């Protein structure tokens, strides 16, 4: 790996920094994560500034409203946005569905959905996991039976982020129950306003509502809403934009989180017993080193993509390390605050954030592929160990 920017990369980094300095509003309010954002004047100004440069979906080809960035350029953009604590827009529609439609969608599907993803007029959710099909996703049982020009969908999805606010869902369904489990699956675009869809909230330990159960009861979906070939949806569903998943923005965010906690620790040194202060200081030194490791793992993925290689187990190493580091940071914050760490209201140090982040970190090693799955990938594909 070459750790230094080339002259062209340095110029690009400076362009992004200048843009952020000139265009990032001081107060954006709530920015979309899973669902629909609050559209303040500052938010609309920010969206317009990003859209004008194709930076809402910067990695997409220019003909689809993106900026056609290379993996390294995208990585630099993500890094600088994270350093400035600037939000990127688009959510799951940009991160997952857009690239899938560009690769596999019909021209009509692209014309219908891509502009509305970029404008933020349509929000999306992902219908993959089921109560009995989590890590073994290919065992999914939600059925889609063809009836003329429609599929009739019945089944249940779970852990569906933002389903309560989504307009549409991209969903994996089983259209051939007799085929091997990785076949006989079709990728459907489903209007969440369709009759027969019901959404029930799942509130997590942090008392937050991101996840949902989604039930399909005789939901009719036009056959024209199938993306890619019928019965080959597994291969469509695994399409992702790899370099937007390098995690470099997460690594920067984790480092900033560590630095914020260190700042609090130094400011409150007189109030903390010397032994407790020293223990916290040493623990945060370890976390800071680990954030640098997370950055290097992310940069390794980017460097492979820049060389035309496809990261495999390397991406799993990064995901495993980053998700477990998030939990370490949350635990270290809680220990630093002692009994105050269990208080969630604004009277507590750090505004009660520590307790919320601690319980919120629990699913980090489950979402996006469990740590066990990542270790299996690393063992078999990275180390060449047998599957059994």
Q: Please check whether residues 65 and 46 belong to one and the same domain.
A: yes
Which residue range is the domain that position 225 belongs to?
124-237
* 117 located within any domain: no
Residue 290 · residue 337 · CB < 8 Å: no
Q: Please check whether residues 262 and 345 belong to one and the same domain.
A: yes
Q: 3-state class of 221 per DSSP? A: strand
**More confident site: 308 or 372:** 372
Q: Please check whether residues 254 and 157 belong to one and the same domain.
A: no
Q: Please check whether residues 84 and 198 belong to one and the same domain.
A: no
Q: Please check whether residues 358 and 279 belong to one and the same domain.
A: yes
Q: Please check whether residues 78 and 136 belong to one and the same domain.
A: no
How far is the C-alpha of 195 from the C-alpha of 213, rounded, in Å?
Answer: 16
Which residues share a beta bridge with 226? 188
Q: Please check whether residues 204 and 270 belong to one and the same domain.
A: no
For residue 28, give the CATH number of its domain.
1.10.540.10
Domain's final residue, options 206, 237, 268 = 237
* 357 located within any domain: yes
Q: Please check whether residues 141 and 223 belong to one and the same domain.
A: yes
How far is the C-alpha of 245 from the C-alpha of 166, rounded, in Å?
Answer: 22
Domain's final residue, options 183, 218, 237 = 237
For residue 132, give the CATH number of its domain.
2.40.110.10
Asked if the model's pLDDT at residue 267 lies above 90, the reply is yes
* 304 located within any domain: yes
* 369 located within any domain: yes
Active site residues per annotation = 244
Q: What percent of the chain stands above pLDDT 70?
A: 94
Asked if the model's pLDDT at residue 89 lies above 90, the reply is no
pLDDT tens, position by position, 90-125: 888 998 899 999 999 999 999 999 999 998 889 999
In the DSSP assignment, the letter for residue 232 is: B
In the DSSP assignment, the letter for residue 378 is: I
pLDDT tens, position by position, 178-213: 999 899 999 999 999 999 999 999 998 878 898 999
Confidence of residue 307 (pLDDT cuts 50, 70, 90): confident
β pairing state of 197-203 and 209-222: antiparallel
* 40 located within any domain: yes
User: What average pLDDT does the chain have?
Assistant: 90
Dihedral angle computed from the Cα positions of residues 346, 349, 354 and 356, in that order, rounded to the nearest 10 degrees: -10
Domain's final residue, options 237, 258, 290 = 237
- Give the pLDDT mean for 65-90: 90
* 29 located within any domain: yes
pLDDT of 344:
86
* 116 located within any domain: no
Residue 170 · residue 127 · CB < 8 Å: yes
**Range list of H helices, the chain:** 7-23, 41-53, 71-83, 91-92, 98-104, 107-119, 233-237, 248-267, 274-306, 313-337, 353-360, 371-377
pLDDT of 370:
87
In 3D space, the residue among 335, 357, 198, 193 whose CA is nearest the CA of residue 277 turns out to be 335
Asked if the model's pLDDT at residue 33 lies above 70, the reply is no
Asked if the model's pLDDT at residue 87 lies above 90, the reply is no
β pairing state of 185-191 and 168-174: antiparallel
Q: Please check whether residues 227 and 251 belong to one and the same domain.
A: no
- Hey, how many other C-beta atoms are within 10 angstroms of the C-beta on 163? 28
Q: Please check whether residues 43 and 62 belong to one and the same domain.
A: yes
Residue 74 · residue 305 · CB < 8 Å: no
Total domains present in the chain: 3
For residue 356, give the CATH number of its domain.
1.20.140.10
pLDDT of 243:
41
* 118 located within any domain: no
In 3D space, the residue among 380, 271, 381 whose CA is nearest the CA of residue 336 turns out to be 271
Asked if the model's pLDDT at residue 30 lies above 60, the reply is no
pLDDT tens, position by position, 338-381: 999 989 888 889 888 899 899 989 988 988 788 998 999 999 99
Q: Please check whether residues 265 and 374 belong to one and the same domain.
A: yes
Q: Please check whether residues 129 and 172 belong to one and the same domain.
A: yes
């Amino acid at each position: 790996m070459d750790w230094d920017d080339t002259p062209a990369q340095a110029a690009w980094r400076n362009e992004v920094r200048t843009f952020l300095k000139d265009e990032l509003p001081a107060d954006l309010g709530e920015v979309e994560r899973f669902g629909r954002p609050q559209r303040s004047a500052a938010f609309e100004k920010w969206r317009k500034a990003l859209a004008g440069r194709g930076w809402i979906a910067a990695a997409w080809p220019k003909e689809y409203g993106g900026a056609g960035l290379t993996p390294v350029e995208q990585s630099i953009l993500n890094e600088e946005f994270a350093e400035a604590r600037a939000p990127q827009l688009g959510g799951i529609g940009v991160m997952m569905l857009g690239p899938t439609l560009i690769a596999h969608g019909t021209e009509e599907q692209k014309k219908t959905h891509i502009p509305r993803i970029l404008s933020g007029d349509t929000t999306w959710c992902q219908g993959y996991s089921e109560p009995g099909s989590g890590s073994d996703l290919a065992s999914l049982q939600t059925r889609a039976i063809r009836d003329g020009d429609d599929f009739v969908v019945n089944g249940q999805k779970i852990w569906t982020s933002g389903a309560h606010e989504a307009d549409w869902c991209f969903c994996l369904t089983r259209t051939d129950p007799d085929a091997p489990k990785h076949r006989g699956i079709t990728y459907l675009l489903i209007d969440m306003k369709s009759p027969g869809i019901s959404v029930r909230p799942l509130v997590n330990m942090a008392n937050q509502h991101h996840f949902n159960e989604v039930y399909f009861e005789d939901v009719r979906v036009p056959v024209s809403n199938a993306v890619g070939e019928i019965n080959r949806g597994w291969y469509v569903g695994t399409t992702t934009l790899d370099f937007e998943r390098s995690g470099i923005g997460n690594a920067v965010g984790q480092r900033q989180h560590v630095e914020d906690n260190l700042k609090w620790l130094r400011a409150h040194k007189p109030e903390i017993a010397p032994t407790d202060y020293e223990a916290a200081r040493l623990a945060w030194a370890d976390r800071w080193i680990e954030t640098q490791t997370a950055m290097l793992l992310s940069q390794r993925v980017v460097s492979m993509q820049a060389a035309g290689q496809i990261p495999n187990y390397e991406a799993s190493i990064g995901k495993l390390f980053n998700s477990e580091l998030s939990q370490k940071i949350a635990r270290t914050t809680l220990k630093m605050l002692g009994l105050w760490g269990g208080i969630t209201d604004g009277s507590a140090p750090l505004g009660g954030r520590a307790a919320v982040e601690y319980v919120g970190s629990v699913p980090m090693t489950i979402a996006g592929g469990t740590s066990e799955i990542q270790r299996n990938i690393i063992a078999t594909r990275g180390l060449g160990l047998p599957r059994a």
